[in-house]
Structure 1
Amino acid sequence: MNISLTGRGLELTDTIKDHMRSSIDALKKYNMDIISANAVASSQHKKGKEHFNVEFVLNLPQKHTIVISQNDGDLHAAIDIALERAEKALRRLHDKEVDHHKTGLNEIKSEDVDVKEVAAELEDEIVPVELDLYKPREVEDVLNDLKESGKMFDIFIDNEDKTRVLYKRNDGKFGLY
């Protein structure tokens, strides 16, 4: 990896250069084969205060160039924040390559898969259940059954051939729909 350190409007001291180099070296852990890394530190005076701008330009093979620019009143803080943002960008690219592996058509064709067996496995199995719903019942009988069973509701047909629901309310009483 080629590393280029540049200072615009300020002189880069050895400690700042070492800090920038170690920051860029920390980006190697993502195994993204960084071709070159350019770090540019500049100083600006606005309203009597000095502001620092740090810009990292990372060139990756077969990918876009990553450009991170960070402003701060402290040069070391600007370098650290720019490093965090560069790590985040590289982590996203790395995760996208590792987690989103696409299977090609040739790999799919090489697998022997019986489509009929897979379709049969995916079908939902329907088990018929006989309901006691069809014979008319009295509300009192359903109420007694509901109190004895621990169910929250019961669906039944009353003597007038209407489908009814008897349910237990939150206040302990019963409701009829």
Structure 2
Amino acid sequence: MLDVQTRGENISVTDALRDYVDKKVTKIGRYLEPNVSAIAHANLRVYPNKTAKAEVTIPLPYLTLRAEETSDDLYKSIDTMSDRLERQIRKYKTKVNRKSREKGYKGLDFRPDEEATPTQPETRFDVVRTKSLQLKPMDNEEAILQMDLLGHDFFIYQDAETDEVNVVYRRNDGRYGLLQAGSND
């Protein structure tokens, strides 16, 4: 069962808009077994320049689906975002089913697919280059400066205070994000 929680930024979410988002996002639920329940977090945003952004995050066991779309029409953004989510789960489902046939792997509980024809060609993830690196202890500001100097979108470093491996990265909005390694206690 897939529940949808919708919230708006710079927009009030009407019942009609909430129903439209629910209809589009709950389509994903047909790919999951009935015993799998999840909450989809939908966020709708309207910017001062009249562009609209729709984004959805669906945390599932061992997988998080996330899609966002920005356009000049909120309903168009919702449609495109929904299509992206569906492509993501189909792609993942195809890989899980292939892995389970090959190695007996059990991933998410997906419904059996009667139409087992993937819509896109299967993607291979071949490693074409390997790099070794020495992690230098530093703080996140120095790591961001190093990343910018190198012209990269991310930078891996050892946090000087915690000795943990962290990653700083450049977000789509131009700001920075920080991934902190930690235990799953």
TM-score interval (norm. to shorter): 0.5 to 0.7
Determine the structure 2 residue equivalent to 1:93.
92
- The answer to whether the 8 A contact 2:4-2:26 is kept is no
2:40 is the alignment partner of 1:7: no
Tell me how far apart the structure 2 counterparts of residues 103 and 13 of structure 1 sit (CA, whole Å).
48
In structure 2, how many angstroms separate the alpha carbons of the residues matched to 1:92 and 1:38?
Answer: 21
Deviation at 1:3, TM superposition (A): 2.0
Asked if structure 2 preserves the Cα contact closer than 8 Å seen for 1:56 and 1:67, the reply is: yes
Q: How much does 1:13 deviate?
A: 1.2
Question: How many Å separate the matches in 1 of 2:8 and 2:41?
Answer: 11
SS of residue matched to 1:100: helix
Cα distance, 1:85–1:79 mapped onto 2, change above 3 Å: same
Deviation at 1:58, TM superposition (A): 0.9
More helix by share: 1
> How far does residue 26 in structure 1 lie from its aligned partner after superposition?
0.6
Q: How does 1:1-177 map to 2 (within 5 A)?
A: 1-31=2-32, 33=36, 35-46=38-49, 50-63=50-63, 65-101=64-100, 102-103=102-103
Counterpart contact for 1:34–1:61, Cα < 8 Å: no
Gaps of 5+ in 1: 105-177
Q: Secondary structure at the match of 1:11?
A: coil
Question: Contact 2:3 / 2:26 at 8 angstroms: preserved in 1?
Answer: no
Contact in 1 for aligned 2:43/2:56 (Cα 8 Å): yes
Supply the AA of the counterpart residue of 1:15: A
CA apart distance, 1:100? 2.2
Q: Which SS does the other structure have where 1:45 is aligned?
A: coil
Higher Rg of the two aligned structures: 1
TM-score when normalising by structure 2: 0.51
Q: Secondary structure at the match of 1:17?
A: helix
Q: CA deviation at 1:87?
A: 0.2
* Pair 84,4 (structure 1): closer, same or farther in 2 beyond 3 Å: same
Please tell me the root mean square deviation across aligned C-alpha atoms, in Å.
1.5
Identity across the alignment (%)? 20
| Deviation (angstroms), 1:5 | 0.5
Could you tell me the TM-score, scaled by structure 1's length? 0.53
